[in-house]
Amino acid sequence: MKLYHAPNSVCSQKARVGLSEKGLSFESVVLDLAAGDQFKPAYRRLNPNAVVPKLVDDGKVVIESSIIIQYLDDLAAAPRLMPDGAYPAAHVRHWLLRSLEIHASVNSLSFATAYRLGLMKLPREEREEIYRRIPDPARADKRRDLVEKGVASSHVDEAIRAFARVFRDMDADLAAGGPWLMGAQYTLADVNLIAYIDRLDRLGLSGFGVPAIPRSVNGWSVRARAQATKRRLRRLSRQRLCPQCVQPAPKRGRSSRANSPPDGLPAAKKPAKPAIQAAAIPAFFCNPDAFYRSA
């Protein structure tokens, strides 16, 4: 089984959490998304959307991260990640379906902040060339808007509203007692959401309160990341991380909240949007994938 994936891609992280949870080994084919590997004809023949992840099992192609993790769950009997019973299974599928919107929101917040920093250093024509390569015109327009406007893009507002709904609904699920979204059983609902919520944290959003991440969701996120990393963390030596990664994370006290506005937001305008901290961004870049790196 081959997984075509990229280290920083949230959907690839989701697939890798699924593989790890099911104890399945795979051949890793790493794409360099910044270099445009996803647009190469050989890749697009198997995934015309030109995105990762893609799983190829015995010549059969599986795309869409939510479908990949369900496929993996069906491949190996234990541990079963889809709960028994029509209603619990329907509820898990509801979370899997919602990940399309959740991914779109994570993508907006990533490109309006962290990824934008590098892209805006390129000449305008080069950026236009990058947007032009995206096969779906709507996706290309969205990318252009996010990169060119940063957090002033309306996609950012949309993403924040989407996350407010996600947090509300995760909180409601966890109110049943947890520790997982479906109660005592760790399921595909948890596997599905770990990387997206983790990304918000790495972007520096989770400490800044808009939308406030409920305490229940924070607690779940800590548990879920520990669960996802339990096999991998020991293998990561500190030498494999860049020097910045081994420094303590920047403090996020009250004073730092009042810091200068995020890149792309005019100084005069008080951010009604989350105060995305520039200081938090390097942490995302230097150790973006420590938790879910494939072996």
Ligand X SMILES: N[C@@H](CCC(=O)N[C@@H](CS)C(=O)NCC(=O)O)C(=O)O
By the criterion CB under 6 A, which residues form the site for ligand X?
9-11, 33, 38, 51-53, 64-65, 100, 103, 134
CB of 263 to ligand X, least distance (A): 21
CB of 103 to ligand X, least distance (A): 5
> Which CB sits closer to ligand X, 186 or 196?
196
Helices 86-112 and 188-202 pack at an angle, to 10 degrees, of 20
CB of 95 to ligand X, least distance (A): 13
> Which CB sits closer to ligand X, 52 or 166?
52
> Which CB sits closer to ligand X, 10 or 160?
10
Question: Would you say 191 and 17 are in contact if contact means Cβ atoms under 8 Å apart?
Answer: yes
> Which CB sits closer to ligand X, 275 or 291?
291
> Which CB sits closer to ligand X, 10 or 280?
10
> Which CB sits closer to ligand X, 44 or 252?
44
CB of 40 to ligand X, least distance (A): 12
Q: CA–CA separation, 183 vs 206, rounded Å?
A: 23
Is the previous residue joined to 79 through a cis bond, with omega within 30 degrees of 0?
yes
Q: Residue of minimal CB distance from ligand X?
A: 51
CB of 277 to ligand X, least distance (A): 23
Q: Which of 242, 265, 250, 51 is nearest to 153 (CA)?
A: 265
